[in-house]
Amino acid sequence: MAKSKFEYVRSFETDDTCLRNCYIVVRLDGRNFHKFSEQHGFVKPNDERALALMRRSAGCVMEQLDDVCVAYGQSDEFSFVFKRSTNWFKRRASKLMTHVASQFSSSFVFFWGEYFTHQPLLYPPSFDGRVVLYPSNRNLRDYLSWRQADCHINNQYNTVFWTLVQKGGLSTTQAEERLKGTVAADKNEILFSEFNINYNAEPQLYRKGSTLIWDTAEEVTTKKVKPANQSEREVHVTRTRKKITTHHCDIIGSQFWEEHPDILESD
């Protein structure tokens, strides 16, 4: 077929194929969620509904898109790790990133009402996305460790900050002043000695974030069969199905990775 004279514009498209053998990480982050969380009455510092909705949307991304081997989320962000051997969309960064972002955003809106039963969605939220490549298992694990360490640092700060405000009667400015220059041990001490809160006993979900991986589960179904010349009977059929499991555990140390050796492909 003859090409139109306009065809040449295709050559303006640039190649954004991700380097082979690398893990492709797409990280999404809610746009201006400082305002979004205020306007939708998120509980401070952690809103169970919001975190559950984030996990639900991330699960939807894993189910609808190929080759995500692990996802990690906290606060208004989620990172999706594509298998290093993936050839989905020929490893084109823009395709991968935009599919993740739009599947996540539409899921977030689609499932909103299931989690925020009495809080209408006031305007359409959006998430930015970026792609980063990690060439080794060490680099990938360090990336995920970085996000989990960030979760811990922010959550510890926010927990003390909002305890000082909600239980200690301080203004937000006073709480900020009080925490200036404090290290982790000081923050734990304030929580413990003044409010009888043991930070390490706070929910793992808040302190560690959420890690989603694939697991296999045996599923037993009954099926009606009717062999020739015999009466109909029921048989049990066992099938192995892939399903997503959620973990709120430490992913910085080795234990999690040793318990789930199938997540990473060897270097």
Q: List residues binding ligand DGT (CB under 6 A).
A: 29-34, 37, 42, 44-47, 50-51, 75-76
Q: Angle at CA 57, nearest 5°, toward 56 and 58?
A: 90
Residue 222 Cβ, how far from ligand DGT at the closest point, in Å?
42
Cα–Cα distance, 51 to 250 (Å, whole number): 18
Closest contact distance (angstroms) between CB of 51 and ligand DGT is 6
Beta strand 77-82 with 127-134 is unpaired
Do you know the residue count of the chain? 267
Is 129 a binder of Mg ion (CB under 5 A)? Answer: no
Cβ–Cβ contacts within 10 Å for residue 43, how many? 11
Q: Of 40 and 77, which has the nearer Cβ to Mg ion?
A: 77
Minimum distance of ligand DGT from residue 111's CB (angstroms): 16
Question: According to the binding rule CB under 5 A, does residue 157 interact with Mg ion?
Answer: no
Q: What is the DSSP string of 55-77?
A: HHHHHHHHHHSS-EEEEEEETTE
| Closest distance of CB 40 from ligand DGT, Å | 9
Q: How far is the CB of 38 from ligand DGT (least distance, A)?
A: 8
Pick between residue 34 and residue 241 the one whose CB is nearest to ligand DGT.
34
| Shorter beta-carbon distance to ligand DGT: residue 64 or 102 | 102
From the list ligand DGT, Mg ion, none, which binds 89 (C-beta under 5 to 8 Å, kind-based)? none
Contact 257, 138 (CB under 8 A): no
Secondary structure letter of residue 215 according to DSSP: E
For the sheet containing 127-134, what is the strand order?
Answer: 127-134, 23-30, 77-82, 68-74, 210-225, 233-247
Size of the site for Mg ion (CB under 5 A): 6
Say whether residue 77 binds Mg ion (CB under 5 A).
yes
Q: Taking the C-alpha atoms of 201, 207, 209 and 213 in order, what is their torsion angle to the nearest 10 degrees?
A: -50
Least distance CB 118 / ligand DGT (angstroms): 16
Whole-number minimum distance, CB 99 to Mg ion, in Å? 12
Q: Which residue's CB is nearer to ligand DGT, number 89 or number 127? A: 127
**CA–CA separation, 95 and 35 (whole Å):** 29
Helices vs strands, H then E, count in the chain: 10, 6
Q: Does 30 bind Mg ion (CB under 5 A)?
A: yes
Q: Is the peptide bond before 120 cis (omega within 30 degrees of 0)?
A: no
Residue 175 partner contact from Mg ion, ligand DGT, none using kind-dependent CB cut-offs of 5 to 8 Å? none
Q: Side chain identity at 136, as an amino acid letter?
A: S
By a kind-dependent CB cut-off of 5 to 8 A, residue 39 interacts, out of ligand DGT, Mg ion, none, with none
Q: Tokens 């808040």 correspond to what residue?
A: 206
From the list ligand DGT, Mg ion, none, pick the one residue 163 interacts with, judged by a Cβ distance below 5 to 8 Å according to partner type. Answer: none
Structure tokens at 202: 């706070």
In this complex, which beta carbon is closest to ligand DGT, that of residue 31 or of residue 138? Answer: 31
Name which of 64 and 154 has its Cβ closer to ligand DGT.
154
Q: Which residues bind Mg ion (CB under 5 A)?
A: 29-30, 33, 75-77
